């Protein structure tokens, strides 16, 4: 009789136990789903946060670049107008040289201009701009040494480019024995370097 009662009790409890087992399984599956959903949501949130930060960085970089352009635009345009930035102005250099020669009434000047080449002196090794140099050789007859300085000053004031005097040698002819004064007794042999920043080179 006791055994029968135990069997009846088990039969009575079995549906309940099965139900609780199913509920536990459902709860476990739900908990597992919620866990993985939370993990995926966290990863997605982190990914979106990174993209948002990248967007912020790009925005601030664009603002900084725009401010830099605005700050240096006038200076850039001035350098461009002055022949420092852009294509070399070989024709303008030669025309201005002839004008200065006529202005000073110099009796003789000859010049030659080499093709432009990359500028690679150690002093400008850290400059990332594409610098080029065109070497100009000048041979002149001068009335006196001051004519050379006047010629160079005229070239600079013409604002047709940036150059420096790489070398210059002056030589005065000796007085002739007959005492006749030589017209334009000073010879000048100079080399000018015209520098240009050409973004397209």
Q: Where are the domains of the chain?
A: 1-81, 90-197
Strand partners, 191: 137, 167
pTM of the model: 0.59
Residue 177's pLDDT band (boundaries 50, 70, 90)? Answer: low
Question: Helix (H, G, I), strand (E, B), or coil: what is residue 167?
Answer: strand
Question: Helix (H, G, I), strand (E, B), or coil: what is residue 45?
Answer: helix
Both structure tokens of 99: 């004008």
At 45-71, the pLDDT tens digits run 777 778 878 888 887 777 877 777 777
Q: Which CATH architecture does the domain made up of 90-197 adopt? A: 2-Layer Sandwich (3.30)
């Amino acid at each position: 009789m006791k055994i029968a009662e135990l069997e009846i009790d088990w039969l009575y409890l079995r549906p309940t136990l099965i139900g609780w087992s199913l509920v536990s399984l459902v709860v476990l599956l739900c908990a597992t789903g919620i866990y993985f959903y939370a993990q995926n949501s966290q990863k997605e949130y982190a990914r979106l946060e990174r993209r948002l930060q990248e967007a912020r960085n790009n925005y601030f970089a664009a603002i900084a670049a725009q401010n830099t352009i605005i700050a240096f635009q006038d200076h850039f345009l001035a350098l461009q107008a002055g022949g420092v930035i852009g294509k070399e102005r070989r024709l303008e250099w030669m025309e201005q040289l002839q004008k200065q020669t006529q202005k000073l009434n110099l009796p003789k000047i000859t010049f030659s201009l080499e093709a432009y080449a990359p500028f690679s002196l150690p002093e400008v090794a850290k400059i990332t701009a594409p610098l080029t140099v065109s070497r100009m050789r000048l041979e002149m007859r001068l009335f006196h040494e001051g004519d050379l300085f006047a010629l160079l000053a005229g070239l600079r004031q013409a604002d047709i480019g940036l150059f420096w005097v790489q070398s210059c040698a002056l030589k005065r002819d000796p007085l002739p024995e007959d005492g006749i004064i030589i017209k334009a007794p000073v010879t000048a042999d100079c080399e000018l370097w015209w520098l240009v920043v050409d973004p397209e080179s």
